[in-house]
Amino acid sequence: MLGGSWIAMYMPAILATTELACQAQIDGGDWVSLTAAQAEDLEAIMAQIIPSDDSPGAREAGVIRFADLALDSFLARMKPAVLEGLADINTRLSSARTSVRFSELNNADQIAQMHQIDRTPFFGAVQFMTIAGFLSHPKHGGNQSEIGWQHIGFNDQHAWQPPFGYYDRPYHEGPDQEGGGDE
């Protein structure tokens, strides 16, 4: 219930951000909250959260643009944790190896690094942004070509024709049918 209240309270900001994300993606605009290197690393993390395997993942859905603009608006309070988390990962990597960033690691090493951070506020923020960007309405940014909706089997149909389910069929068929109408 608390999550629903939070979404309802921030819905105008979420919609505005997703619209900006969509336009920025179309325009190929500059990054708003992130540097190009930070965006590359964050996108690599997001691509591990929703990977591209048998179906397109977070990278193909364009969730990085959604996240970049969200960090500049309704998720601005998460921005310090996200930037610090990215810096922390890359600092640990550079101390273990010479000048390697998260996005430059192979798949197995990326997953190993993510196991070290999967219980941090940074990971929670990135996971939320990834899922929100993956499942948002395409006209608002993220979820390009309805990739996220196809992944979960959602059909974006404005209206449905009755009967909606087994529970409505008797009422739709009328009083002459079994179980329908007034008897």
Residue 180: its pLDDT value, please? 46
pLDDT, tens digit (0-9, with 9 covering 90-100), for 42-56 = 999 999 999 998 888
At 68, the amino acid letter reads D
Q: Which domain does 177 fall in, by range?
A: 157-183
Residues 103 and 182 in one domain: no
Asked whether 165 and 158 are in contact (CB, 8 A), the reply is no
Total number of domains in the chain:
2
Residues 25 and 78 in one domain: yes
For residue 18, name the pLDDT band (cuts at 50, 70, 90): low
Residues 147 and 171 in one domain: no
The pTM (predicted TM-score) of the whole model is 0.71
Q: Supply the DSSP symbol for 33.
A: S
For residue 38, name the pLDDT band (cuts at 50, 70, 90): very high
Residues 23 and 60 in one domain: yes
pLDDT, tens digit (0-9, with 9 covering 90-100), for 101-159 = 999 999 999 999 999 999 999 999 999 999 999 988 776 667 778 888 888 888 777 77
Q: How many CB atoms lie within 10 A of CB 128?
A: 14
Asked if the model's pLDDT at residue 25 lies above 60, the reply is no
pLDDT more than 70, % of the chain: 68
Residues 132 and 54 in one domain: yes
Residues 113 and 60 in one domain: yes
Residues 180 and 119 in one domain: no
Residues 85 and 121 in one domain: yes
For residue 163, name the pLDDT band (cuts at 50, 70, 90): low
Residues 130 and 177 in one domain: no
Look at the block and give the residue holding tokens 């309070």.
Answer: 77
Pick the more confident residue, 16 or 122: 122
Asked whether 44 and 103 are in contact (CB, 8 A), the reply is yes
